[in-house]
Amino acid sequence: MTKGKSFLKANKGFLFILPWLIGFLVFKMYPFASSLFYSFTEYNLFEPGSEFHFTLQNYKDVFINENERNALIVTFKYAFMTVPLKLVFALFIAYILNFKIKGVNFFRTAYYIPSILGGSVAIAVLWKALFKGDGLIHSFFGVFGIDAPNFLSDKHWALFIICLLRVWQFGSAMVIFLAALKGVPQDLYEAASLDGATKTQQFFHVTVPLITPVIFYNLVTQLVQAFQEFNGPYIITQGGPEGSTTLMSLLIYNNAFHTWEMGKASAQAWVLFIILMALTLVAFWSQKHWVYYADEES
Amino acid sequence: MTNNSLTIEQAQAKIKRRRIISVTVRYIVLIVVGIIMLYPLIWMVGATFKTNAEIFTTLNPIPKNPTLQGYKDAMESYGGNINIWKALLNTYSYVIPEVVFTVISSVLTAYGFARFKFKGHDFLFTCMMAMLFLPQVVLNVPQYIMFNKFGWVGSKLYLPLIVPTLFATETYFIFMLIQFLRNIPKEMEEAAAIDGCNSFTTLIKVIVPMLMPAIVSCALFKFMWSSNDFMGPLLYVNTPAKYPATIFVKLSMDADTGFNWNRVLAISLISILPNICVFFAAQNQFVEGISAGGVKG
Torsion over CA: A50, A54, A57, A62 (sign):
positive
Q: Is A271 a member of any domain? A: yes
A4 assigned to some structural domain: no
Segment B100-112 shows an average pLDDT of 96
Total domains present in chain A: 1
Mean pLDDT for A107-126 is 89
Q: Is residue A60 part of a domain?
A: yes
Q: Rounded distance, CA B92 to CA B224, Å?
A: 11
Q: What's the one-letter identity of residue B234? A: L
- Average pLDDT value for residue range A2-7: 68
Separation CA A219–CA A212 (nearest Å)? 10
Asked if residue A157 lies in contact with residue A151, where contact means CB atoms within 8 angstroms, the answer is yes
pLDDT, tens digit, 9 for 90 and up, residues B54-95 = 888 888 888 888 889 889 888 887 777 888 999 999 999 999
Q: Residue A297: its pLDDT value, please?
A: 47
CB contact under 8 A, B44 and A117: no
CB A167 within 8 Å of CB A86? yes
Q: What is the mean pLDDT of residues A73-98?
A: 94
Q: What is the CA radius of gyration of chain B?
A: 26
% of chain B residues with pLDDT over 70: 95
CB contact under 8 A, B135 and A224: yes
CA max distance for chain A = 85
User: Mean pLDDT over residues B8-22, rounded?
Assistant: 86
Question: For A180-208, b where at least 16 C-beta lie within 10 A, e where not — what string?
Answer: bbeebeeeebeebeeeebeeeebbeebbb
Mean pLDDT (chain A, rounded): 89
Does the beta-carbon distance from B167 to A218 stay under 8 Å?
Answer: no
* Residues spanned by the domain of A166: 40-297
Which of B167, B250, B283 is nearest residue A235 as measured by Cβ atoms?
Answer: B250
What pLDDT score does B213 carry?
A: 87
In this structure, of A115-119, A243-247, B237-241, the range with the lowest mean pLDDT score is: A115-119
Provide, rounded to the nearest whole percent, the portion of chain B with pLDDT above 90.
51
In this prediction, what percent of chain A has a pLDDT beyond 90? Answer: 49
Q: What is the pLDDT of residue B9?
A: 85
pLDDT of B285 reads 81
Q: Is the peptide bond before A241 cis (omega within 30 degrees of 0)?
A: yes
Number of cross-chain residue pairs from A and B with Cβ atoms under 8 Å apart: 258
Classify residue A11: in a domain, yes or no.
no
B161/A contact by beta carbon, under 8 A: no
Q: Is the pLDDT of residue B297 over 70?
A: no
Rounded Cα distance between A264 and A61, Å, is 9
Handedness of CA B178, A177, A87, B229 (dihedral sign): positive
Collapsing DSSP to helix, strand or coil, B59 comes out as coil
Q: In this complex, do A16 and B139 lie within 8 Å of one another by their Cβ atoms? A: no
Give A228's contacts in chain B (Cβ within 8 Å): 135-137
ipTM of the complex: 0.90
Report DSSP state, residue B203.
I
Task: Write out chain A in H/E/C secondary structure.
Answer: CHHHHHHHHHCHHHHHHHHHHHHHHHHHHHHHHHHHHHHCECCECCCCCHHHCECCHHHHHHHHCHHHHHHHHHHHHHHHHHHHHHHHHHHHHHHHHCCCCCCHHHHHHHHHHHHHHCCCHHHHHHHHHHHCCCCHHHHHHHHCCCCCCCHHHCCCCHHHHHHHHHHCCCHHHHHHHHHHHHCCCHHHHHHHHHCCCCHHHHHHHHHHHHCHHHHHHHHHHHHHHHHCCCHHHHHHCCCCCCCCCCCHHHHHHHHHHCCCEHHHHHHHHHHHHHHHHHHHHHHHHHHHHHCCCHHHHC
Residue to substitute from B141, B148, B159, B223, interface A, most A β-carbons within 10 A = B141
Backbone angles phi, psi at B184, to 5 degrees: -95, 120
Q: With left for phi above 0 and alpha for psi between -120 and 50, is residue A149 left, alpha or beta?
A: beta
* CA dihedral of B162, B168, B174, B177, whole degrees rounded to 10: 70
The pLDDT score that the predictor gives to residue B1 is 47
- In whole angstroms, what is the distance from residue B208 CA to residue A210 CA? 34
- What's the first-to-final CA gap in chain B, in angstroms? 51
Kindly state the average pLDDT of the residues B36-60: 89
Query: Percentage of residues in chain A with pLDDT exceeding 70?
Result: 96
| A17 inside domain | no
Q: Residue A218 class from Cβ within 10 Å (0-12 exposed, 13-18 middle, 19+ buried)?
A: buried
- CB distance from B126 to chain A under 8 Å? no
Sequence-distant (≥ 6) Cβ neighbours of residue B27 within 8 angstroms: A101
Q: Are A198 and A190 spatial neighbours (Cβ–Cβ below 8 Å)?
A: no
Q: Given pLDDT bands bounded at 50, 70 and 90, which one contains residue B4?
A: low
Residue A32 lies in a domain: no
How confident is residue A138, by pLDDT bands cut at 50, 70 and 90? confident
Q: Which of B117, B246, B294 sits opposite A214 (nearest CB)?
A: B294
Q: For the CA atoms of A42, A43, A46, A48, what is the dihedral angle to 10 degrees?
A: 100
Q: B105 contacts in A (CB within 8 Å)?
A: 19-20, 23
Report the CATH number that the domain containing residue A154 is assigned in CATH.
Answer: 1.10.3720.10
Whether the CB of B164 is below 8 Å from some CB of chain A: the reply is yes
Q: Is the pLDDT of residue A293 over 80?
A: no
Candidate ranges A244-258, A276-290, B179-193; pick with highest mean pLDDT? A244-258
If you ran DSSP here, which 8-state letter would residue B82 be given? -
Please give the mean pLDDT across all residues of chain B: 88
Evaluate whether residue A28 is within a structural domain.
no
Residue type, B188: M
pLDDT of residue B5: 62
pLDDT of A298 reads 38
Distance, in Å, from the CA atom of B39 to the CA atom of B37, rounded to the nearest integer, reads 6
Handedness of CA B219, B220, B221, B226 (dihedral sign): positive
| A18 inside domain | no
Predicted TM-score of the model (pTM): 0.90
Q: How many CB atoms lie within 10 A of CB A167?
A: 20
pLDDT of residue A3: 64
Q: Do A121 and B230 touch (CB under 8 A)?
A: yes
In this predicted structure, the answer to whether residue B149 has a pLDDT above a threshold of 90 is yes
CA distance B163 to B232: 13
Task: Look at A139-143, A153-157, A282-286 and tell me which has the smallest mean pLDDT.
Answer: A139-143
Total residue count of chain B as it appears in this document = 297
pLDDT of residue A295: 60
Segment B161-167 shows an average pLDDT of: 96
Is residue A296 scored above 80 in pLDDT?
no
What would the mean pLDDT of B175-192 be, rounded to a whole number?
87
Q: Residue A44: phi, psi to the nearest 5?
A: -120, 130
For residue B43, the model assigns a pLDDT of 93
Would the CB atoms of A28 and B294 count as touching at under 8 Å?
no
